[in-house]
Structure formats: structure tokens, C-alpha cells
Amino acid sequence: MSHELTIPAVGESIATATIGQWHKADGDYVRSGEVVLTIETDKISTELEADRDGVLRQVASEGDELEIGAVVATIEEGEAPAESDAEEPSARGTQEDESPGEGGTQSPAPQGGEAKATPVARRMADDRGVDLGSVTGTGAGGRVTKADVAAASATQSSEGPSTPPLSVVRPAGETAPEAAGGERTTRRKMTPLRRKIAEHLVNAQQSAAILTTFNECDMSRVMALRKEVQEDFVGRHGIKLGFMSFFIKAVVDALQAVPQVNARIEGDEIVENHFCDIGVAVGTERGLIVPVVCDCEGKSFAEIEQTIAGYAKAAREGTIQFDDLQGGVFTITNGGIYGSLLSTPILNPPQSGILGMHSIQERPVAVAGEVVIRPMMYLALSYDHRIVDGKEAVTFLVRVKDCIENPDRMLVGA
């Protein structure tokens, strides 16, 4: 008897999903509970498991975009093959992050056609300018994995960058010769997540009156406090005390002091929130996602750090859940980890505010009539001017600044 494997519903707002990677080949014998497929939506990646034992028959291919409920494969129930035939190529490792074990053989990528590679490996190769045809695949059936592309990219970098061609002014009517070594441009389809990000950003610009106000804060006392308690903090909680938990607590304080920022517009009504679920923007290989740390007003510094670390790990591994990205009344984004000195963050609708953190730089500042060198960070608050007035926005940002420059007050609730 044949049973259908379909795209499951993963969220109310998600109507389609893309076939990301098959972990089992067409014709493989699979057992109930084994992961056979990874699907990608505009928010998360989800693994699909076989719900019974049998032979897998693929109906869709990697890269296909299908509606929720569509059939992606069938499983034909039957007895397992004989032991001598049981070792399928997929059993030797199809996960992208696996490398061949001791004594394993490496199969070269097929010649005379498009190289076999996982979707993530293809995206990485495009981003890093790696020719998949020249990469030796270590995955099932010679498939090129992410690890293979990373190794090829490292080798390519160690050999040194090629010298770019000089720009030449040509006489009128003379055409440039064809580019050597391949096409001048690369065209690839946007991923569901990238399409959603693009749509989200455009909608934010068109549906809200976004304005940004700036300030700067002295990070001296936070840095000194972290250094003083870090060893004990790690010993007690098993995780480092980072800057993000301080800023989340500062934002909670500011949201409680200026409740207009903790509100949103729905039609002709203003909905004011009485809780502090804070979104933390996290960059991944697939794009930006914003997991939400719930009930921050009741969480300790350690609980906040542990929650953020768990989300970061799940985002890297592609296992973050749809519910983790739902809700949120305010967002914090840290461009400083990439070296940004100053930026104007875009709202995450329907939220009315987003705080941008930036690089910490030592700068001369005036303190008590003297010029001293202090570690300073620029802060940017973007807000929806339809619901938040300038006075309220400035008051909110100054409150965040005061909390960061006097972190002891947050610890005692002053």
C-alpha cells in the first residue's frame, strides 16, 4: 500500500514551502521516524520524517515551491531489503555538515553537466565565487556539501585573489570582447526567506511614518561590571554575560516608563501592550530572522542570555520553530557585531519601535569639564511617528542610555 507524504502546515501566514534538501534518495528504504526531507519556508526550515516503513518515491525535486498540503513523496509499505542490499548511499551521510569518516571514499562531482550539490552548498558557492564543477563532493553519490564548498573557498583564498581587469575606454562602435572564464552575471531565484524579507521591508516603509532619533552612551560601567562578575556568572549559569541582556533590560525599563512605544496601530485603534516580549534580530546564512524573548520583564539576566543562546544555536542549525518568531512588541538589532558605526534600523511591523546598537569605539568626551577617552556606542531608535511623538521617542532613548550608563540601577530596580 502506498501512503502520501505531504507539506505540513507550519503557520497561519505561510501558504507555500520550498523543497530544500532530500536526505533520502528516490527508491531508498526508509523507516518510521527517519528524516527524509528538509523544507524551507519564508520564516524557518522544517524536517519531515517518514511516518511508516517502506520504499520512498519522490514526487517533487529540490528547489520546487509547493503549496501547503501538496504531496512531495509516497512511501510504499513493504519488508526491508536483504542485508546485503540495505546499505544505501544515503546511509553513508547526507547531512551537509558531515564529512567522510575514516576509510570513506570521496566521489568526484559528475563531469559533463551540472554538478550535484545541496541547495545550501549552491548558495554558498554563488556567494563565494566557487566553481562547483571543480569541487570534489563527499556527500551521497558524490554530492557537493557545504563543507566541501567551504574547503574549496579556503583553498581559493589561500592562493590569493586574482587581479581584476583594468577598465578600458573603447572607441565608439567598438564592442567589448566576451568575458573569459564564464558569464559576466549570475542569475538565481530568490529564496522564500529573502522574498519575505524584501516584501516585509517595503511594506514597513510604505505603511508607517518612520523617523529615527539618535543618542550615544558611555559603555564604561557596563563593561566594568561584566568584567567583575563574568567568572562567577559563568560558574553559576554556564553561559557568558553579554551586552544584549543589559540592553533588553534597559528597553524593558524604557517601555514601562514610556508605554506609547509599547503599542501598535490596528485600523483606527491603538493597542497598548502590557507585556515585554522583545525580538532580537539574528543574522543567518539564509537571511535575517527575529526570534522573540518572551516576558523579559520577569526574566533574569541569565535566563535572557540562555534564551538568546538557544535561539542562535537553533538559527545556525536551521531548527528554529515558527512559534519562536511570533509576536514581539519591540525589536533590538546589533549592527555593531558587523562593524556598523551608525545606521537607521527599519521597523518590524506591526511594532512601533526598534533599537539599533552599534560598534563600541573609544572616543574623546567631556566629563566634569575634562576631556577623557571613553568606550562609546551610538544608539538609534526608529519609531512610527503616527503613534509615537518626538518627545516620547527621545524620552525613551534617554531612558535606555541612563540604564546602560548606570547598570546598577537595573539590578536593584531603581
Contact status, residue 118 vs residue 90, Cβ threshold 8 Å: no
Cβ neighbours of residue 298 closer than 8 Å, sequence gap 6 or more = none
Cβ neighbours of residue 77 closer than 8 Å, sequence gap 6 or more = 1, 2, 3, 52, 53, 54
* Distance separating alpha carbons of residues 58 and 220, to the nearest angstrom: 59
Nearest 10 degrees: Cα torsion 155, 158, 160, 161: 50
From 108, 91, 94, select the one nearest 146 (Cα to Cα).
Answer: 94
Contact status, residue 75 vs residue 3, Cβ threshold 8 Å: yes
Catalytic residue among 53, 200, 385, 402: 385
Question: Known catalytic residue: 385?
Answer: yes
* Distance separating alpha carbons of residues 348 and 329, to the nearest angstrom: 9
Number of other CB atoms surrounding residue 195 within 10 Å: 13
Cα 321 to the chain's mean position, in Å?
12
Catalytic residue among 26, 64, 232, 389: 389
Sign, CA torsion 113/117/119/122: negative
* Distance separating alpha carbons of residues 73 and 7, to the nearest angstrom: 10
Contact status, residue 304 vs residue 311, Cβ threshold 8 Å: no
Cα 162 to the chain's mean position, in Å?
31
Q: Beta strands of 208-328 (E only): which ranges?
A: 210-218, 263-266, 269-272, 278-280, 282-284, 287-289, 292-293
Question: Known catalytic residue: 274?
Answer: no
Q: Where are the alpha helices (DSSP H) in 279-370?
A: 301-317
Catalytic residues: 385, 389
